[in-house]
Amino acid sequence: MAKLIAGLGTSHIPAIGGAIHKGLQQDPYWKPFFDGFPPIRQWLGEQKPDVVVMFYNDHGLNFFLDKMPTFAVGAAPQYHNADEGWGIPTLSPFQGEVGLSWHLIDALVEKEFDIVSCQEMLVDHACTLPLKLFWPDGDCPVTVVPVCINTVQFPLPKASRVYALGKAVGQAIQSWDSDKRVAVIASGGLSHQLDGERAGFINKAFDLKFIDSLLSNPEWATQFSIHELVEKTGTQGVELLMWLAMRGALSAAGPKVSRVHSNYHIPISNTATAVLALAVD
């Protein structure tokens, strides 16, 4: 059976891609963010995952307000990047892991999650940037299964529902008939609001408590309704749902995880940025 080895989380601001393209990683504005990644890259080089399952949110590329699935799973052999103009101009297509995609889809439908299955899927910065941040050199060395969670168009899925989705994904990974090593990635957040009266809102205290809860009390954030999470983290801060899904997946592998490395920095483009790596004990 496949082995679930790690959970990773990172922010995915489009301007990060522009900084990578322009070589600004050591610029004073960007350095505190990029300095969070080398210890995790070294650890990933030792762990050598073969596949990643990417929890992310689409920004109007595949799904728009007229057609917005709550949960969608990619089942394509390749995923092409469609950049919005802020980030990395060109990237090679990412290779899919079709066998795991269909295994996840079958398992999630069996557990009564209504999944949109996407045999063709473009991916935006929310999917491409984490891969480039964790594996910056050359083509991406892992295959990918994108799992898209709606954080754009209300009604949004409850935090407890997303945690349950992650747990079901983790259970499906462990039952996949393969000897491959799998990591799960959460892409998004943390607290930020890009529009309205609270534009620029950041809640450092909540962010740090949330990050700590992922180790000690992973279901802590599920006590809050979606509207409460918007109040506490901002309209775009609900992307922390991806982090909950990631942690839910790890819970399927056992009760304990350990922190490999984490970093928190504010602000980058009016966003509280974070990176986290968790190992399955």
Task: Kindly list the catalytic residues.
Answer: 125, 192
Residue showing tokens 């930020």: 192
Residue 267 preceded by cis peptide, ω within 30: yes
Residue showing tokens 């962010």: 207
Residue 110 CB contacts under 8 Å (≥ 6 apart), including other chains: none
Q: Which helix (H) or strand (E) holds 162?
A: helix 159-175
CA distance 144 to 95: 6
3-state helix, strand, coil in the chain (%, to 5): 35, 25, 40
Report whether 14 contacts 271 (CB < 8 A).
no
Residue type for position 236: Q
- Rounded to 5 degrees, φ, ψ at 203 are -125, 85
Instruction: With H, G, I as helix, E, B as strand and everything else as coil, classify residue 60.
Output: coil
Strand partners, 144: 52, 96
In whole angstroms, what separates CA 7 from the centre of its chain?
Answer: 9
